[in-house]
Structure 1
Amino acid sequence: MPVPWPVFEETKVIELLVKVFREQAPGAKWKQQLYEYATCHDEPQLAEWLACETRFEPAKYFSQQRATFGRKTYIPYFAHHFKDILRQCEQYGIDHRLPMNQAPLMAAAVTGNVPLVEALLERGANREAVDHYGYNALHWALREAFRDARFAGGPLAALYELLAPASIDVNTGDRLVRIDRHLSEYFIFQTLWVLFKSRFTHWQRRANGAFDTQAILGAWQHLPANIVRPERNKRQHLSGVLARNEIHRDYAYNRALFMRVAQGWYQFNP
């Protein structure tokens, strides 16, 4: 059964952008919807455009409201009692979409609700289901952990064990590469996947969607050892892993995951 609420997936978001910025539709309704989307998906650049170009006053307070207002559409997922959520899953499907295009498992993950994650997985929720940015439930949890030390030191360890697949397959252009979970490349790739969107929606020190080890270490600073072993959470180790996986690097186990755009700066293999 289709959900009875609008879902802000890619097509819907594009429609909103056109209404607000190109057509300059009157009233605050469309701007409010776009602002709610910006807070949920952590897009400060979009909020700034709303504040400056459309004079939508609430968008000026994005930094104060992101952590609270952005949770508006999935507040029930924080609760310890979640029979209503499971009932909703029975009605609309275990992987139905919430208003901001999250599947229930994504919302349970980002709220750190481990019992709900377990209940959804027991009922067949798909760990690999993604939103329109390519984020699955694990990525939603990691994004929260990268910016919230309490989340990183709290539910993330259990969530990771429940949600992280045994391996990921990456298309590097001429071949499909499998990266097993025990490898350093696995979590570096997952990290950069989560951070990638922020290269375009947040102010950056370097253009072109590039990363350096500082960005990775900053994201990892509060992660538990079951996710990043201490010996791997070091600049020297990260630099070595990135370098040995550069395109055209002469290394027997090079997976060609990254392209170096400047000294110490990397992009995904395009």
Structure 2
Amino acid sequence: MRNPDRETIFRFKQFAVCNARSAMKIGTDSVSLGAWAPVDCVRTALDVGSGCGVLALMLAQRGVDNITGVEIDPEAVAESRLNAAASPWAGRIEIEEGDATEWSHRQSTPLLYDLIVSNPPYFSSELMSPEQARATARHEGTLSFVTLMMLAERHLAPGGRLALIAPTDREADIEWEATLRRLSLKRKCRLTGSVRKAAKRVMYVFTREDSAREEDTLLIINSEAYKALTKDFYLDR
């Protein structure tokens, strides 16, 4: 059971995130995506499965004016709202509670966003975790990649982009689903802990328009390139 009295606080250079009540804790995946996602010409952003709010806060620090997070877990919603309120960008972040698909269907005219970001659930083939909240956060039962692509198809503004991170073993599924939703792969970056190890995560940027695809890149955690990417956030950079 989660214990809200035992605070778990992760401190960044310009903000702090409490994630004692959220099912999933701050990790390399979210920080990498938050630093890597494109924010040029982005005024509005949607964070799908926003958890404790770290992605929304990182986007706010990078200059995005208006960010909406959608999160199904009530405790994570409460915690992310507190995190946003304690940040320098309280007026720019709004957290909605509920299932992302239901949130979308409530809109007769869909809200459009310049950027959609997500560190979605994974490990769909594994046994469910003992704690239901953590299981919900880590498994695809409530937010699948199919759902995420459907949301992008409906809510991306013209010229908008979808940025997400996922395990490498879902690569073919994700790219196929994006093709079905008429989303074009613009950028792809593999994440690995060592040049001697195979990458276990991939970050993607998809767009609604056909455009030249950038060369795929490899990013090694704690390399000089990775430190440069995350230097505005981590305290030790």
Q: TM-score, normalised by structure 2?
A: 0.32
Which structure has the larger Rg over C-alpha atoms? 1
Richer in helix (by share): 1
Richer in strand (by share): 2
Q: TM-score, normalised by structure 1?
A: 0.29
